[in-house]
Amino acid sequence: MKDFREMKQRGEKITALRVYDYPTARLLDESGIDIILVGDSLGMVVLGYEDTTSVTLEEMLHHTRAVARGVQQALLVTDMPIHTYDTPQQALQTARKFINVGAQAVKLEGGADHVAQIKAITTAGIPFMGHIGMLPQSVREQGGYRIKGRSQLEAEALLADARAVEAAGAFSVVLEILLADVAKQITNAISIPTIGIGSGEHCDGQILVTHDLIGLFPWFTPKFVSPEARVADEIRTAARAFIERTRGGT
């Protein structure tokens, strides 16, 4: 496991991608990515769910096993799905299940309101990544994916969350869809790295969904993503060529 705090101190940006299968994990690991996260975003981009709230523990364990087989160098982190960390005891039990199938660290959503769960995990010696700001598992209660930190009160609460996560033993924290200035303030205020997604360029690192990065889920692309490839177009082209060649041969 790399010393991500030292990377932050050196100003070296941390790279992370959300991955859900063996070949993609292996390719990204060979490319030198720092962190591979088995995200519960697989609910939308792999399983076809409306959001992450339908993702089960068994589904996450299944995909974590697959990804773990392809990772040799990167730190492998796994999302703990909704309602698998409602209590500190449950959180620790769930974290151990992920470690047992190959994860090296776990992540759950929440800040000061989940300190007990985080401490239960870190006290047991399991590396933990925090996640504050927009919380996808709470998207239905929050009424959609909205930028966080627009008001002074909300910005102060986010900073308190970040400090609480750090104090509870997290080695880093994801900042999802925060106002860029607020993300910058948090990044400067804590000693652990911030990993941004849709939160501006001042975080200590960045994370994206691989499908968004390579254009493999063309039906929706977040506004903050600029795809580096158009894999969906290549798949369609290859499939149509196969269809035409096969039918032409008969």
CB proximity list for 10: less than 8 A, separation 6 or greater? none
What are the angstrom distances between the C-alpha of 14 and each of 35, 155, 170?
A: 8, 24, 16
Question: Is 176 a residue of the active site?
Answer: yes
Per the structure block, which two tokens stand in for 196?
């941004």
Provide the mean pLDDT of the chain: 96
pLDDT band at 220 (very low <50, low <70, confident <90, very high): confident
Whether the Cβ atoms of residue 18 and residue 37 lie closer than 8 Å to each other: yes
Is the confidence at residue 143, as pLDDT, over 80? no
Residues 27-69: tens digit of each pLDDT? 999 999 999 999 999 999 999 999 999 999 999 999 999 999 9
pLDDT band at 249 (very low <50, low <70, confident <90, very high): low
Is the confidence at residue 179, as pLDDT, over 70? yes
Residue 123: what residue type? T
pLDDT value for 2: 64
Residues 149-172: tens digit of each pLDDT? 999 999 999 999 999 999 999 999
pLDDT value for 164: 98
CB crowding 12-40: b at 16 or more within 10 Å, else e:
eebbbbbbbbbebbbebbeeebbbbbbbb
Among candidate residues 59, 109, 166, 176, the one labeled active-site is 176
pLDDT value for 144: 79
Is the confidence at residue 205, as pLDDT, over 70? yes
Per the structure block, which two tokens stand in for 247?
């039918």
Residue 98: what residue type? F
State the pTM of this model. 0.94
How many CA atoms lie within 13 Å of 129's alpha carbon, on the beta-carbon side? 26
pLDDT value for 250: 55
